[in-house]
Amino acid sequence: MLETIDLGGIPADVVRKRIKHVHLSVYPPTGRVRISAPEHMALDTIRVFAISKLPWIKGQQRKVQAQERESPRDYIDRESHYLWGKRYLLTVVERDAAPSIDRKHNRIVLSERPGTTTERREELLDAWYREQVKTAVPPLLKKWEALMNVKSSKVFVQRMKTKWGSCNPTSRAIRLNTDLAKKPPECLEYIVVHELAHLIEPSHNARFVSMMNLFMPKWQHYRDELNNLPVRHEDWDY
User: Is the four-CA dihedral 117, 118, 124, 127 of positive or negative sign?
Assistant: negative
| pLDDT tens, residue by residue, 77-128 | 999 999 999 999 999 999 999 999 999 999 999 999 999 999 999 999 999 9
**Residue type for position 133:** V
Residue 79: strand pairing partners = none
According to the model, what pLDDT value does residue 238 have?
29
pLDDT of the residue at 233: 42
Residues of the chain under the 50 pLDDT cut: 233-238
Those residues whose C-beta lies under 8 Å from the C-beta of residue 14, and which sit 6 or more positions away, are 2, 3, 4, 5, 35, 37, 43, 46
Supply the pLDDT for residue 70. Answer: 65
pLDDT of 19 reads 85
Q: Which structural domains are found in the chain, ordered by start?
A: 2-66 (no CATH), 80-228 (3.30.2010.10)
